[in-house]
Amino acid sequence: MTRVEVRFLGTSAAIPTPKRAHPSIYFRYVGRAEYVMLFDCGEGTQRQIFKCGENFMRISKIFITHWHADHFAGVLGLVESMSLEKRREPLEIYAPEAEKFVPMILNLGYGIRSFPVRYYDVPFCGSEISVVVDEEEYQILSIPVKHGIPAVSYCFLEKDRLKIDKEKALKLGLPKQSKLYKVLKEKGRIVYKGSEIKLEDVCRVEKGKKIVYSGDTEACRNLVKISKDADLLILDCTYFEELEERNHMNFKQAVEIAKRSGAKRVVLTHISRRYQNESELEKIIEKHRGETEIKLAKDFMKVVIE
C-alpha cells in the first residue's frame, strides 16, 4: 500500500501572522521508494520544517507556483542550510520562469554551495496540462492559472497500479506465492501447466492517488480541469467574503471549484491576516459542508491519504 503525507508548513497569505507562516507544503510520497518534495517555499519554511520534526535534507524537488515573495523567499535560506549540512545530492527547482529567477536567488551573498541545484521552466500560458516530472511511480503535472503574473497549479498523480486478484489466480490454478506473478506483470501472459493465463484474467487496476495544489489564483477553467476527481484539493481561499480584490479566490468561489472538480477532500489555505478568529471561519465552512469534506488549513496540520 502506498501513502501520501501532506504537511502544511505555512498557511497565511502575503503577510504572515503569529499563527500562520508564509505558504509552503512538505509533501512525502511512500511507494516502492520514498520521495519528499516542497510545494512553494515562503519565508521561514526551514524553521517550520524543524518545528514539526520533518527532515529538510530529504527534499529532492521544490515546486514554486509563482514568483511572489511569500511563495519563494525561503529558498535561499533552505539552500544555504543544506550546504552547511554538507548535502551532496542535487536539488531540483521547478517554476514558471525558473531560468530567470532561480539563478538570481542562488547568486545572492557569498554562500558556498556543496551540491548542484538544477532548475526547470514550467509552462505558464495556455490551457494544456503539462507533465513536469515523470517518475516510475508518479507524475507531477501543471497548468497555467490566473493570478496577474505567470503562475501555475500543480498536481501530484500517482500512476495506476496493477494488483493481482489472488482469488481469481487460485481459481485458475496458480499457487498463492510464486515468482510467476512478477513474470505475469512484466510479460502480460504466462503458460502454467499447459494453460495460457493473461494478465487481465487475474488482475485489477488500483487507481493512483491525486493531489492538487492551486497556488494563488482566481477561479478559472484551468483549475477545474487539473482538479477533476482529486483525492485532495488544496485551494487558495484568501477571503471569506465577496470582495473586489482580484487574483485570489474567496470562500464562495472555492466551494464552487470544489463542487465542479468532484474532489473528495478540500483544504482551504492562503488565509488573509484579516481573519484572526479561526472559529468564525470554521462556522462558515460548517454551513457549507456537503458531500465534499472541506477543512481550514492550519500550520503543521497533516493530511494523510492511503
Cell triple for 193: 501447466
Provide the edge-to-edge strand list for the sheet that holds 34-41. 117-121, 91-95, 59-63, 34-41, 24-30, 3-10, 302-305
* Upper half-sphere CA count for residue 67 (Cβ side, 13 Å): 17
* Measured distance CA(245)–CA(248) in Å, rounded: 7
Of 40, 70, 231, 299, catalytic: 70
126-138 as b/e: b if 16+ CB within 10 A: eeebeebbeeeeb
**Bridge partner list, 266:** 233, 294
Cell triple for 139: 507524475
* Measured distance CA(92)–CA(159) in Å, rounded: 21
Cell triple for 184: 505475469
Active site residue 70: yes
Cell triple for 105: 536567488
H-type alpha helices, 85-178: 98-106, 166-171
Q: Active-site positions?
A: 70
